[in-house]
Amino acid sequence: MAVMGYLRERMGKIVAGLIGFSLLAFIVTEVIKSGGSFLKGDTNELGAVGDEKIPLDEYNKAVDQNTAQFKQQSGQSSVTPQITAYVQDNTWNQFVSKAIIRKEVEKLGLVVSPDETQAMTTGTNPDRQVIQAFTDPQTGRFDRANLISVVNNIKSQKDDNPQKIRWVEFVTQLIEAKLGEKYMSMVTNGLYVNSLDAKDNYENKNKLANFKYAVLDYASVADSKVTLTDADYSSYYDEHKAEFKNPQELRSISYVSFNGAPSAEDSVAIKQQISKLIPDFKASTNDSLFVQINSETKAPLIYQHKGQLDPKIDTVMFKASNGFVFGPYLSNGSFKLAKLVDSRVGPDSVKAKHILISPVDGGMPKAIATADSLKKLIESGKKSFADLASTFSVDKGSAAKGGELGMFGRGSMVPAFEEAVFNGKKGDLKIVTTQYGAHLIQIEDQKGSSKVVKVAVIDKPLSASTKTQSAAYSKAQAFLISLTKDNFDAQAKKGSLSVKTADDVTGVARTLPGLDDARDLIRWAFKSAKGDISDQVFTIGNQYIVAHVTQIKPQGTLALDLVKKQIEPAVRNQVKGKLLTDKFAAAISGSSSIEQIAQKAGAKVVPVQNIVFANPVIPGSSAEYKVVGSVFGSPINKISKPVAGQQGVYVFTVNNFISPAPLTNAVREKEQIGQAMMQRSEGQIFEALKDKDNVKDYRAKLL
């Protein structure tokens, strides 16, 4: 369904739109051209993939298009900082992906021939998007004749015809997507799973180990008993250096927030303002107009059933008499007044059909006149509603079904449409106008019966006064003036101010803890040096922020001093592990069983059954990869050496292994492994190509 169906199904379309964003990462529509280098001051260079630059103006244009698409699909007039960040990141990935794919495709000489292009559009193997666009919704059949007719008509148009331009762009997208598929197929076709891989995988999932162990937890050694040396840190760092590769530059920020939120005095003042409207609101005979004039939110007045109103007035309004005014009350950050305009008993759901006449040609008066003519034809019996819907309705989704909208409940349609169908009676033919045009509606059925109310609501947002904001800003400015690079924490402590931290912030982040739109602050941080104090007081929502850059982690392998705090718990456990290993070693000496060892070391023996290599979790503990791996490599009935695991140091002895039945069908096992490899491959391929192509990203300083 097109217009009216969208109102009920729009969330599904939003999801489809988000999926579409991901797919667009593989689509290339034009060659990126830009001059000058970033280091030379080219402010139009947002980044680069190898020698190919990503222009800022092209990127911003694409962001605007994707944002507009999201708004259209979601029905939202604005987007949150989180959605903005999502759209920007997806758009960046589109530019990077298309540059990478184009480079690899050109290197290999891959092409999409004219025959392949024809097959994807009007030929024997049309793309799924083409099939969807030219499938009859009534029969579910692909209409090839209609497709060819439309395409031939487009080709006959001049090159500057908008429809022809869109078609050329669409075909270009199909070609570029096909090139991406070809490249990925070439790479992934090289993936191979042999019989030995299948056998190992089968045994890893099915071979069982039964063993018993004793463990000395790291927590059994008090932290105060352990002194960490530079050698301890260096030893751990050297062993795990590969884990400290930083894919992008990160910065840590400390900041103090001065609250400019509405004060108790502001709350009283706004409550008094809206209270002054009560007498006029009670006396009003045009409540809809009163709401439009006096309310911040211009909500239409519609009948609603219990549960649809604000919880603070839901019960009250269903017990009140017409004209009753409730409030002021505080709800969702606003003071509100609510007036019961009317109450009645009405249907819970309605079945209706409509013919939608667009006001584009001739305006709304012509659309209404057309709807009135159609109404007379139906009333005279000269034409059926279904025939006229299929011919005249611009809502093609319902037109294909004779205008049928099916059964729907309150809140499913736009207010004017809903008012008409729920307040009419079965069999009525009505003409109603909405933002979409003129609707000729026929009410086919009404079901259910319950009380509904029409409530007019006036709201005044609870906002901070100039006095409150000025006081908060002055405090922030005074704090900023008192700072040097070395006294941020001391001055905050002196003023009894809470210092908040945001660690490892990315350059494209838009939010910080407690701050919804902190883009200006983050951009400043990525232009600053370690230790810098913000050169201004940042206004974020109702907060005034003074910030301090505390750490910079560059892209690449991080130095020990940058990860020292991060690895401290693991280093401490490693040192404790040496002490516990020595304790177990002493207990092992002269012992003939694990029970004796456990008794000497002050531990307990725990039996474990049916552990598999592929799921190395010890019951009651956590994943112990090193321990379980050692178990499967150990002989039966032999006391192991101490093994340092995740939770502590272990000693174990294997009772037995239970081998599975021999693998008789390696094909299925190979397929499972191959599918898992394929799922990982595309992401890993792109990450490898990004590293290889030296992707440069200047978004942190320019966006």
- Supply the range of the domain harboring residue 435: 349-447
Per-residue burial over 627-646, b if 16 or more Cβ lie within 10 Å, else e, is bbebbbebeeeebbebbbbb
- Nearest CA among 643, 649, 622, 646 for reference residue 631: 643
Three-state DSSP state, 115? helix
pTM value surpassing 0.95: no
- The sign of the dihedral angle between the CA atoms of 355, 358, 362, 368 is positive
Q: Do both 539 and 578 map to the same domain?
A: no
Residue 689 lies in a domain: no
Q: What is the mean pLDDT of residues 46-64?
A: 90
Chain segment 371-411, per-residue pLDDT in tens: 999 999 999 988 899 989 988 888 888 888 899 999 998 88
Residue pointed to by tokens 């040097």: 484
Can you give the pLDDT at residue 20? 39
Can you give the pLDDT at residue 620? 84
Residue 546 lies in a domain: yes
Q: Do both 96 and 232 map to the same domain?
A: no
Q: Read off the amino acid at residue 158.
A: K
Share of the chain above pLDDT 70, in %: 93
Residue pair 122/101 in contact (Cβ under 8 Å)? The answer is no
**Which run of H or E residues covers position 613?**
none
Choosing from 345, 376, 408, the residue where a domain stops is: 345
Q: What angle do CA 657, 658, 664 make, to 5 degrees?
A: 130
Can you give the pLDDT at residue 293? 95
Structure tokens at 293: 């004039």
**Cα 356 to Cα 364: distance, rounded to the nearest angstrom:** 12
Cα dihedral angle (570, 575, 576, 581), rounded to 10 degrees? 120
| 388 phi/psi in degrees, rounded to 5 | -70, -35
Per-residue burial over 499-530, b if 16 or more Cβ lie within 10 Å, else e, is ebebeebbbbbbbbeebebbbebbbbbbebee
Q: What is the mean pLDDT of residues 42-62?
A: 87
Can you give the pLDDT at residue 506? 93
CB atoms closer than 10 angstroms to residue 448: 11
Residue pointed to by tokens 């059909």: 353
Choosing from 447, 478, 503, the residue where a domain stops is: 447
Can you give the pLDDT at residue 455? 95
Can you give the pLDDT at residue 10? 34
Can you give the pLDDT at residue 18? 35
Q: What is the mean pLDDT of residues 681-685?
A: 84
- The sign of the dihedral angle between the CA atoms of 391, 397, 401, 402 is negative
Distance of CA 435 to CAs 152, 167, 421, Å? 34, 29, 17
Q: Do both 538 and 578 map to the same domain?
A: no
Q: What angle do CA 368, 436, 64 make, to 5 degrees?
A: 150
Q: Which residue has the higher pLDDT, 213 or 620?
A: 213
Residue 682 lies in a domain: no
- The sign of the dihedral angle between the CA atoms of 188, 193, 197, 203 is positive
Q: Do both 150 and 16 map to the same domain?
A: yes
Residue 599 lies in a domain: yes
What's the per-residue H, E or C state across 230-242?
A: HHHHHHHHHHCHH
Q: Do both 628 and 503 map to the same domain?
A: no
Can you give the pLDDT at residue 29? 31
Strands (E), 375-487: 404-409, 429-434, 437-447, 450-461
Residue 227 has pLDDT above 90, yes or no: yes
Residue 457 has pLDDT above 50, yes or no: yes
All residues at 6 or more sequence positions from 471 whose CB lies less than 8 Å from its CB, including other chains: none
**Cα 101 to Cα 19: distance, rounded to the nearest angstrom:** 20
CATH number of the CATH domain containing 506: 3.10.50.40
Choosing from 345, 377, 402, the residue where a domain stops is: 345
All residues at 6 or more sequence positions from 263 whose CB lies less than 8 Å from its CB, including other chains: 464, 465, 468
Residue 610 lies in a domain: yes
Q: What is the mean pLDDT of the chain?
A: 88
**Cα 214 to Cα 649: distance, rounded to the nearest angstrom:** 8
Q: What is the mean pLDDT of residues 238-254?
A: 93
Q: Do both 255 and 268 map to the same domain?
A: no
What is the count of structural domains for the chain? 5
CATH number of the CATH domain containing 299: 3.10.50
Chain segment 64-117, per-residue pLDDT in tens: 988 988 887 777 778 888 888 889 989 998 899 888 888 889 899 999 999 999
Can you give the pLDDT at residue 37? 34
**Which run of H or E residues covers position 9?**
helix 3-23
Structure tokens at 171: 């075909």
Can you give the pLDDT at residue 22? 38
Residue 508 lies in a domain: yes
Can you give the pLDDT at residue 623? 92
Q: Do both 471 and 549 map to the same domain?
A: yes
Q: Which residue has the higher pLDDT, 504 or 23?
A: 504
- Going by pLDDT thresholds of 50, 70 and 90, the confidence category of residue 7 is very low
- Going by pLDDT thresholds of 50, 70 and 90, the confidence category of residue 658 is very high
In eight-state DSSP terms, residue 703 is -
Residue 578 lies in a domain: yes
Q: Do both 101 and 80 map to the same domain?
A: yes
Chain segment 458-497, per-residue pLDDT in tens: 999 999 999 999 999 999 999 999 999 899 999 999 999 9
The end-to-end CA distance of the chain, in Å, is 39
Q: Which residue has the higher pLDDT, 5 or 149?
A: 149
DSSP alpha helix (H) spans, 604-696: 625-632, 666-692
Residue 502 has pLDDT above 60, yes or no: yes
All residues at 6 or more sequence positions from 458 whose CB lies less than 8 Å from its CB, including other chains: 274, 277, 281, 290, 291, 294, 295, 336, 337, 338
Q: Do both 281 and 296 map to the same domain?
A: yes
Question: Helices 3-23 and 56-74, interaxial angle, to 10°?
Answer: 150
**Cα 68 to Cα 266: distance, rounded to the nearest angstrom:** 37
Beta bridge partners of 47: 54, 697
**Cα 536 to Cα 530: distance, rounded to the nearest angstrom:** 17
Residue pair 476/545 in contact (Cβ under 8 Å)? The answer is yes
Instruction: Say how far residue 617 (Cα) sits from the centre of its chain.
Output: 32
- Nearest CA among 461, 282, 323 for reference residue 290: 282
Residue 647 lies in a domain: yes
Q: Do both 38 and 173 map to the same domain?
A: yes
Which string of DSSP letters, residue by residue, matches 195-241? HHHHHHHHHHHH-EEEEEEEEEEGGGS-GGG----HHHHHHHHHHTG
Beta bridge partners of 447: 349
**Cα 401 to Cα 355: distance, rounded to the nearest angstrom:** 11
Residue 640 has pLDDT above 60, yes or no: yes
**Which run of H or E residues covers position 348?**
none
Three-state DSSP state, 407? strand
State how beta strands 45-49 and 52-55 pair. antiparallel
Q: What angle do CA 154, 159, 165 make, to 5 degrees?
A: 65
- Nearest CA among 199, 147, 253, 96 for reference residue 667: 199
Can you give the pLDDT at residue 688? 84
Residue 194 has pLDDT above 80, yes or no: yes
Q: What is the mean pLDDT of residues 248-252?
A: 93
- Going by pLDDT thresholds of 50, 70 and 90, the confidence category of residue 138 is low
Structure tokens at 266: 């502001």
Instruction: Say how far residue 500 (Cα) sits from the centre of its chain.
Output: 26
Q: What is the mean pLDDT of residues 208-235?
A: 96
Q: Do both 146 and 23 map to the same domain?
A: yes
Can you give the pLDDT at residue 80? 84
Chain segment 529-540, per-residue pLDDT in tens: 999 999 999 999
Question: Helices 81-108 and 666-692, interaxial angle, to 10°?
Answer: 100
Q: Do both 96 and 15 map to the same domain?
A: yes
